[in-house]
């Protein structure tokens, strides 16, 4: 079991900015790991995920996924990385049906000049079923609630049948029972298919129990990592969340 994701001294600076949003990150994630990344708002969690899949080019350092440099093999690598984007406000008139949006996850995987076949649609519907959204398959995504749309985004990423799954605050809009459902689903995928996962959250309480490692990010740096228990009891983390509470 080799490293699937390797970051070597990576810094990422947004265009037009001066301060790096990621600072000299060195990190290696093995196949089958379930990594949780936590940190306050603006810590650089989203930036980290998008640096891994190459949507944001690393300003310095190298990012390798599946042993290949993301800078040169980005397109090919992204076909095998699922990305559940941080929930966004969707225009209520968006003219795409839920099932079509879920199918879009498979676009790169199916490949150019090919059309979705029966098997592809079966994947779509079985994943929608797993998330309990099969009833919305013919609804326009713009008409869904935040939580329902969130589930569509998760189903979309699963339908890609990725080897690595990046999740950005996937629980943000979910109620307690939906959280449990998604959390169980992720755990099953991790254990049964040894799917490598990076799970981002600003909420310490949202971390699924199956997580094998927790990384704490603050101001673009990794400040602490290890098993969840150890991390939570570290003084740095307690300070961070203490600070957060005062701001609230």
Partner 1 sequence: MIELPLILLITALLGSILAGLSCSTIGVFVVRMNLVSIGYCMSHAAFAGAAFGLLINVDPMFGAIVFSIATALFLGPLSEKAKLESNVVIGFLFSIMIAFAFIFLNMIPGNAATGAALSILWGSIFMINLNDLFLLVLLSFVMLLFFILFYKELTAMLFHRKLAEASGVNTKMFFFAILFFVGFTVSVSLKLVGGLLVFALIVNPTSTAYQLFFDFKKISLASPFIGVVSCLLGFLVSLEWNLPIGAAIVVVSSLIFAFSILFSPKRKKGKKPLFS
| Vertex 127: Cα angle to 198 and 32 (nearest 5) | 30
Of the residues 12, 43, 47, 83, which one makes contact with partner 1 according to CB under 8 A:
83
Contact partner, 14, from Mg ion, ligand ADP, partner 1, none, Cβ < 5-8 Å per class: ligand ADP
Q: Do β-strands 34-38 and 60-65 pair in parallel, antiparallel, or remain unpaired?
A: unpaired
89 secondary structure, DSSP code: -
Q: Determine whether 94 is exposed, middle or buried from the number of CB atoms within 10 Å of its CB (0-12, 13-18, 19+).
A: middle
Contact partner, 41, from Mg ion, ligand ADP, partner 1, none, Cβ < 5-8 Å per class: ligand ADP
Contact partner, 3, from ligand ADP, Mg ion, partner 1, none, Cβ < 5-8 Å per class: none
Q: Do β-strands 60-65 and 3-12 pair in parallel, antiparallel, or remain unpaired?
A: antiparallel
Residues 71-110 that bind Mg ion (CB under 5 A): 86
Q: What is the C-alpha separation between 55 and 78, in angstroms, rounded?
A: 9
Q: Report how many residues bind Mg ion under the rule CB under 5 A.
A: 2
Of the residues 18, 112, 118, 235, which one makes contact with partner 1 according to CB under 8 A:
112
Check residue 42 for interaction with ligand ADP (CB under 6 A): yes
Cβ of residue 29: shortest distance to ligand ADP, in angstroms?
Answer: 18
Nearest to 165 by CA among 195, 191, 188: 195
What is the enclosing helix (H) or strand (E) of 10? strand 3-12
Check residue 113 for interaction with partner 1 (CB under 8 A): yes
Of the residues 39, 54, 74, 105, which one makes contact with ligand ADP according to CB under 6 A:
39
- Using DSSP, state whether 147 is helix, strand or coil: helix
Check residue 43 for interaction with ligand ADP (CB under 6 A): yes
Of the residues 46, 178, 196, 201, which one makes contact with Mg ion according to CB under 5 A:
46
Q: Which two tokens stand for residue 113?
A: 């000049």
Which residues of this chain interact with ligand ADP, rule CB under 6 A? 14, 17, 21, 39, 41-47
Q: Which residues bind Mg ion (CB under 5 A)?
A: 46, 86
């Amino acid at each position: 079991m080799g490293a699937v994701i390797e970051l070597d001294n990576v810094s990422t600076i947004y265009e037009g900015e001066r301060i790096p949003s990621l600072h000299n990150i060195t990190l290696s994630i093995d196949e089958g790991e379930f990594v949780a990344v936590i940190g306050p708002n603006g810590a650089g969690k989203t930036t980290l995920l998008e640096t891994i899949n190459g949507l944001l080019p690393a300003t310095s350092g190298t990012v390798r996924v599946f042993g290949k440099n993301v800078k040169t093999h980005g397109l090919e690598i992204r076909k095998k990385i699922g990305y559940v984007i941080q929930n966004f406000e969707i225009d209520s008139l968006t003219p795409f049906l839920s099932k079509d949006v879920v199918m879009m996850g498979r676009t790169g995987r199916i490949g150019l000049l090919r059309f979705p076949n029966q098997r592809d649609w079966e994947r779509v519907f079985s994943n929608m079923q797993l998330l309990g959204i099969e009833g919305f398959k013919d609804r326009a995504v713009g008409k869904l609630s935040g939580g329902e749309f969130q589930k569509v985004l998760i189903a979309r990423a699963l339908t890609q049948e990725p080897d690595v799954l990046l999740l950005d605050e996937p629980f943000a809009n979910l109620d307690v029972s939906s959280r449990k459902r998604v959390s169980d689903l992720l755990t099953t995928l991790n254990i049964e298919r040894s799917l490598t996962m990076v799970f981002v959250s600003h909420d310490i309480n949202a971390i699924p129990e199956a997580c094998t490692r927790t990384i704490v990010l603050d101001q673009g740096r990794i400040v602490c990592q290890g098993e969840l228990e150890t991390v939570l009891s570290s003084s740095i983390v307690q300070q961070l969340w203490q600070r957060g509470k005062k701001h609230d």
